[in-house]
Structure 1
Amino acid sequence: MTLGKYLTSKSFFKQLLLALGIVVVLVFILLQWLSYTTDHGNEITVPDLKKLTEQQVEEKLDELNLEYVLLDTVDFNKDFPKYTVVQQDPLPGAKVKDGRKIYIKVNSADFGLVTVPDLIEKTLRQAEPSLLALGLEIGKKTYKPYLGKDMVLEMHSNGKKIKPGDKVKKASKIDLVLGDGKVGFEESEADTIKNNTDTEPAE
């Protein structure tokens, strides 16, 4: 086949199109690589936003050309001022592109309320995990005469008597009045002495 016929043949055009396709793909890959390496040098380090107010977050991120999205409030954390950032995503130190959104959650204004469980006539061993599971704390423990040792007789919070079903703030201290377990023995001993005295014959 002569050169002139080959240049006008279908085989030549197929190979030409294939070569052009390969060139286009290579150019595309090269441009993507250049774009990545160029942007890579412009990455921004995410700052630590914890304990900042929403206004402070906005000002700080504006300086870095980043944005933020407030997702939610979380249960009050006494280690953070109210209405300040408790959690963020991405975390501090992460590398992000220009204009990236930073998602934050802020602290509530105060502890939420929880319902006081029914612990009356439950043992101290049963009462403690029930209170801790609700985020409550064990306060003072006082004792008074009662047959059941370490049996819960009363509950108090901030000096006031509370009952099952009442609402108290999470992290409140619950003071417990417990049985000392001695009254049964003392009464039994007193009854025995009395009965023996009553049955002794008169001289």
Structure 2
Amino acid sequence: MSLVQFLKSKTFFVQIAIAIIVLLLFVFGLKFWLGVTTNHDQKIQVPDLQKLSLEEVNRKLKELNLDSRVIDSASYNPDYPKKTVIEQTPEAGDFVKEKRKIYLTLNPSKYKDITIPDLNGRTKRQASSQLRAMGLKVDTNYTYVNDIGKDVVRGLRYNDKILHEGDKLPLNSVVDLVLGDGKGN
């Protein structure tokens, strides 16, 4: 039997029909199986987790059959309680399937610490600018000591404690400058 005769035969057309039917059954079976195993029609609305502690978040998500992962802690935000959720992904109101992970960003317990640099011998303006740029606040009630240099930094204080180079303070702390009065020897 030649190739042309085989292509015109009834056997060839029966085999093509069987192949098409098997392929269609496979595609529809795969589509049905994926719909069942991936919970295609399931929708769980993500709750708003902002300002909740991790214990409250875990309890709330467990009720909905969802999981959580802490991915980061942001810069301290005084508007939120310590160690509570600031951001979440997916957002509140989005729809997800069961066992989906909700990624959380938490509020740290305090501002990050700033390391005090050596400012001895700098002018009041230089020291104030550097401290503000680092995230500290400078009190305008200066303490003056007997020194030959007028308005030259001779030390720093925080809550009436003398600060040294390398000490750490929380961001936004208010420091006092100890300056020379220009009347020394």
Distance of aligned partners of 1:60 and 1:158 in 2 relative to their CA distance in 1, 3 Å threshold? same
Summarize the alignment of residues 144-163 of structure 1 with structure 2, pairs less than 5 Å apart.
Answer: 144=144, 150-163=151-164
Q: Is the 8 A contact 1:141 1:177 kept in 2?
A: no
- Alpha-carbon displacement from aligned partner over 1:18-38 (angstroms, at most 9, x marks no partner): 523552465257648966xx8
Distance of aligned partners of 1:83 and 1:15 in 2 relative to their CA distance in 1, 3 Å threshold? same
Distance 1:93 1:132 in 2: 40
Distance 1:32 1:13 in 2: 28
Return 5+ residue gaps in structure 2 as ranges.
none
Q: What number of residue pairs does the alignment pair up?
A: 178
- Asked if 1:6 corresponds to 2:4, the answer is no
How much is the aligned-residue C-alpha RMSD, in angstroms?
3.7
Residue 158 (structure 1) shift? 0.7
Residue 124 (structure 1) shift? 3.8
Residue 49 (structure 1) shift? 1.1
Distance 1:183 1:17 in 2: 107
Counterpart of 1:88, as a letter, is Q
Of stretches 45-54 and 160-169 in structure 1, the one that deviates more from structure 2 is 160-169
Residue 62 (structure 1) shift? 2.2
Give 1 or 2 for the bigger CA radius of gyration.
Answer: 1
Summarize the alignment of residues 25-174 of structure 1 with structure 2, pairs less than 5 Å apart.
Answer: 27=28, 31=32, 39-40=40-41, 42-142=42-142, 144=144, 150-174=151-175
Distance of aligned partners of 1:33 and 1:73 in 2 relative to their CA distance in 1, 3 Å threshold? closer
Q: Is the 8 A contact 2:143 2:176 kept in 1?
A: no
Distance of aligned partners of 1:163 and 1:27 in 2 relative to their CA distance in 1, 3 Å threshold? same
TM-score when scaled to structure 2? 0.71
Distance 1:151 1:24 in 2: 87
Distance 1:155 1:80 in 2: 31
- Residue 20 of structure 1 aligns with which residue? 21
Q: Is the 8 A contact 1:141 1:178 kept in 2?
A: no
Distance of aligned partners of 1:105 and 1:16 in 2 relative to their CA distance in 1, 3 Å threshold? same
More helix by share: 1
Q: Secondary structure at the match of 1:140?
A: coil
Distance of aligned partners of 1:76 and 1:91 in 2 relative to their CA distance in 1, 3 Å threshold? same
TM-score when scaled to structure 1? 0.66
- Higher relative contact order structure (alpha carbons within 8 Å, sequence separation ≥ 6): 2
Of stretches 49-58 and 103-112 in structure 1, the one that deviates more from structure 2 is 103-112
Residue 125 (structure 1) shift? 3.9
Distance 2:91 2:151 in 1: 47
User: Identity percentage over the alignment?
Assistant: 36
Distance 1:95 1:150 in 2: 61
Distance of aligned partners of 1:50 and 1:132 in 2 relative to their CA distance in 1, 3 Å threshold? farther
